[in-house]
Amino acid sequence: MKILAIGDVVGRRAIDYLGKTLRSTAASLGADLVICNGENASEIHGLNKSDAEALLDAGADLITLGNHAFGSRDLYGFLDDRSDVIIRPANYPAACPGTGYTIREVSGLRVLCVNLSGTAFMDELDNPFATVDRILDREKGSYDITLLDFHAEATSEKLAMGYHLDGRVNIVFGTHTHVPTADTRVLPKGTGYVTDLGMTGPTNGILGTDAEAVLYKMRTHMPTRFTVADGAIEAQGVLFTLEDKKPYRCVKVERITF
């Protein structure tokens, strides 16, 4: 099985770009499942319902989110109604819209897809390590393969999660920082890992955002309206290849750019 994970989508132009490129790219790679982090897709802060639907139309099988999961109120009902195709971090309170994981059937196998938010330099949420342990225990016997989108700021927290789950889940990938890391690897017990997928958005900016707005904010500390940068769009992600027999260990982790 091959699973393609695409980094944080930034802005509507990035969604449109995926609409032109994602299906053909996934087909050429032989991807069985395509996952996109969409929490910045609606002009940086959040995801609205129409943009979520556009990402799915573009070829995403599953959308994950992060600290801007609830940035658009019109997504709340969609989160509740379509938990099969969109999930938010599981360590948010249970009263929040949506759910933190789903089980998808892919090529005859049951894939448990989990979304978590880090807590180092981010919101104070439930402990992500304890949260994922509870999910694995609760769903034991109901899945064949497990993957995790860990939406976190600190690289140390992401790598710690990789080692925490090594051999217990098949894939751990990080999102949030929008910078692709060069540490694609298979951990010692067979878990495919990368600290950050990168982003899908304009390369002529700062993390997809207009550079002048970011510089003004950093120079002055004044309130600033961030907008998506202009220029060419690039999609960044990672392709994970799993062996075709239990325990479906990851055997290859490849960085993908298109």
Q: What is the DSSP letter of 75?
A: G
The per-residue b/e assignment along 119-133, b for 16 or more CB within 10 angstroms, e otherwise, is beebeebbebeebbe
- Report the CATH architecture of 2-257: 4-Layer Sandwich (3.60)
**What pLDDT sits at residue 252?**
98
In this predicted structure, the answer to whether residue 45 has a pLDDT above a threshold of 90 is: no
**What pLDDT sits at residue 220?**
97
Q: Which pLDDT band holds residue 107 (cuts at 50, 70, 90)?
A: very high
Structural contact between residues 151 and 176, judged by C-beta atoms closer than 8 angstroms: yes
Structural contact between residues 35 and 256, judged by C-beta atoms closer than 8 angstroms: no
| Two structure tokens written together for 237 | 């992600």
| Domain boundaries defined on the chain | 2-257
pTM, rounded to two decimals = 0.96
User: pLDDT tens, 148-201?
Assistant: 999 999 999 999 999 999 999 999 999 999 999 999 999 999 999 999 999 999
Q: What is the DSSP letter of 208?
A: T
| Two structure tokens written together for 219 | 């120079």
In this predicted structure, the answer to whether residue 7 has a pLDDT above a threshold of 90 is: yes
Active site residue 68: yes
Residue 218: HSE in the Cβ half-sphere, 13 Å Cα cutoff:
7
Average pLDDT over residues 135-153: 98
**What pLDDT sits at residue 4?**
99
User: pLDDT tens, 115-134?
Assistant: 999 999 999 999 999 999 99
Q: Which pLDDT band holds residue 43 (cuts at 50, 70, 90)?
A: confident
Query: Is beta strand 2-6 parallel, antiparallel or unpaired with respect to 233-242?
Result: antiparallel
d(CA 155, CA 228): 25
